[in-house]
């Protein structure tokens, strides 16, 4: 557990050298049209995102679909090339790494994908899927060592040795996600991006997979970026939570502080929809008007001003709010909250 936060550049109160530093990350996707396929617009998927993560920490990243959270995760690993901004891992620039350096970095930074049905090659056995990275990174010198490592990984994620020779279609969604986790762990990474890793699973299975991820974190000192669209999913696993809206981080804070004392109107609205287990506690539901605007043409000023219940004309629709401190490690991008 650790605590860190970040504005557009400086950040972490507790970690002098964060494991991961993301600085002003931008990703625009060109949209092409016409016979000549000229660029006719740009999807502003990630619009200046910054944060630090300390070793052993879990940062939850939350927001509605299309807010840029998965793109942020993929840009960090350079599965997608960022348009601008910098990412450092253990003080080394990921964004400026050569292909060879990236291959080496891939041992330290892994990803678990959302869809356990689509992310596993149906033609490969589970052993081959998990062992692929062992071969790429030359981590198993002999066939015996290779098989022993696969069995070890299967057992680590709650599966068994005889699953090695089976195919993905023979497993349930939860079991497939365990295979995805074993595949990510094969190279002994330090950072794992869990990209909506439990979103496609039933609630009871979600809890099992989250418990497994927590156990693995303490066993292997893992650091997680845990991406989800639902605040209730990240609550228990996260040390800190970053809330994203239309490509920007609008609030970032230690998890208990964010849930007890949300400061951004968007976070307040998201939280108001999270059920409270105690029936005696009532939370007033904040219903946002309208839909999330298109990232092709995000609104000027504060991206949230078209839906914000307290937006101020002449300010919120003109000036972009920057993340500012509102409490220990608690930062909010809102003109009206301090
Ligand atoms: Fe609402 Fe304005 Fe704050 Fe944006 S800056 S969240 S529009 S009050």
| Ligand 1 neighbour 335 (Cβ under 6 A) | yes
**Cβ neighbours for 246, distance < 8 A, ≥ 6 positions apart:** 44, 47, 66, 67, 68, 292, 293, 295, 298, 303, 304
For residue 53, list its beta bridge partners.
Answer: 20
- For residues 70, 74, 76 and 77, what is the CA-based torsion angle, rounded to 10 degrees? 150
Would the CA dihedral through 332, 335, 336, 338 be positive or negative? positive
Predicted confidence at residue 321, as pLDDT, reads 97
Q: What is the pLDDT of residue 232?
A: 87
Whether the model clears a pTM of 0.75, i.e. scores above it, the answer is yes
Residue 4 has pLDDT above 60, yes or no: no
Burial of 280 (0-12, 13-18, 19+ CB in 10 A): exposed
Q: Give the integer Cα–Cα distance in Å for 67 and 264.
A: 16
Spell out the domain ranges in the chain.
13-108+190-332, 122-188
Residue nearest to atom 5 of ligand 1 (CA): 334
DSSP letters along 179-219, please? HHHHHHHTT--SEEEEESTTTTS-HHHHHHHHHHHHHHHHH
269 CB near ligand 1 (under 6 Å): no
Q: Are 142 and 165 in contact (CB under 8 A)?
A: no
CB 264 within 8 A of CB 332: yes
Distance 224 CA to ligand 1 centre (A): 30
Q: What is the pLDDT of residues 115-169, one digit of tens each?
A: 777 889 999 999 999 999 999 998 988 999 999 999 999 999 999 999 999 999 9
Mutate to test the pocket of ligand 1, among 293, 312, 317 (most ligand atoms within 8 A of CB): 312
pLDDT class for 16, splitting at 50, 70, 90?
Answer: low
- Evaluate the CA torsion angle 192, 193, 197, 199 in order and state its sign: positive
User: What residues form DSSP beta bridges with 43?
Assistant: 29
If you take atom 6 of ligand 1, which residue's CA is the nearest one? 334
- Weakest-pLDDT range from 59-68, 122-131, 243-252, 273-282: 273-282
Q: Which atom of ligand 1 is nearest to the CA of 310?
A: 8
- Ligand 1 contact, 265 CB (< 6 A): yes
Name the residue with the closest Cα to ligand 1, atom 7: 305
Return the ligand 1 atom nearest residue 317 CA: 7
Tokens of 167: 């195919």
Measured distance CA(86)–CA(22) in Å, rounded: 6
Give per-residue pLDDT as tens, 236-255: 899 999 999 999 999 999 99
Residue 277 CA, ligand 1 centroid: distance in Å:
30
DSSP-assigned states of every residue in 70-107: HHHHHHHHTSS--SEEEEEETTEESTT--HHHHHHHTT
| Torsion 266-270-276-279 (CA) sign | positive
The whole-chain average pLDDT of the chain stands at 90
CB 5 within 8 A of CB 331: yes
Q: 6 pLDDT exceeds 60?
A: no
Place of tokens 């976070």: 267
Residues contacting 211, CB < 8 A, separation 6+: none
Pairing of strands 191-195, 330-332: unpaired
CATH architecture of residue range(s) 13-108+190-332: 3-Layer(aba) Sandwich (3.40)
């Amino acid at each position: 557990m650790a605590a860190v936060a970040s504005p557009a550049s400086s950040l972490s109160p507790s970690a002098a050298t964060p494991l991961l530093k993301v600085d002003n990350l931008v990703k625009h996707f060109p949209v092409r049209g016409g016979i000549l396929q000229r660029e006719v617009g740009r999807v502003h998927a990630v619009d200046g995102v910054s944060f630090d993560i300390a070793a052993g920490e879990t940062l939850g990243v939350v927001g509605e679909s299309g807010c840029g959270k998965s793109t942020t995760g993929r840009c960090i690993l350079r599965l997608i090339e960022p348009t601008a901004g910098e990412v450092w891992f253990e003080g080394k620039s990921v964004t400026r790494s050569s292909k060879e350096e990236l291959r080496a970095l891939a041992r330290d930074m892994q990803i678990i994908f959302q869809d356990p049905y689509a992310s596993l090659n149906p033609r490969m056995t589970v052993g081959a899927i998990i062992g692929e990275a062992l071969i790429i990174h030359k981590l198993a010198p002999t066939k015996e060592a290779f098989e022993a490592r696969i069995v070890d990984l299967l057992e680590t994620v709650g599966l068994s040795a005889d699953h090695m020779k089976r195919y993905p279609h023979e497993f349930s969604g939860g079991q497939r996600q365990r295979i995805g986790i074993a595949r990510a762990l094969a190279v002994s990474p330090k950072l794992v991006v869990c990209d909506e890793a439990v979103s496609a699973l039933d609630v009871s299975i979600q809890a099992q997979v989250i418990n497994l991820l927590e156990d693995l974190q303490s066993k292997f000192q893992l650091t997680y970026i845990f991406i989800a669209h639902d605040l209730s999913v990240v609550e228990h696993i996260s040390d800190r939570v970053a809330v994203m809206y239309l490509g920007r981080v609008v609030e970032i804070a230690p998890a208990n502080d964010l849930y007890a004392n949300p400061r951004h109107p968007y976070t307040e609205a998201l939280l108001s929809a999270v059920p409270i287990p105690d029936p005696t506690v009532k939370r007033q539901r904040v219903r946002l008007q309208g839909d999330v605007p298109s990232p092709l043409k995000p609104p000027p000023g504060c991206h949230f001003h078209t839906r914000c219940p307290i937006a101020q004309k002449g300010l919120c629709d003109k000036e972009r709010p920057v993340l500012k401190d509102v409490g220990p490690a608690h930062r909010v991008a809102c003109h009206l909250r301090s």
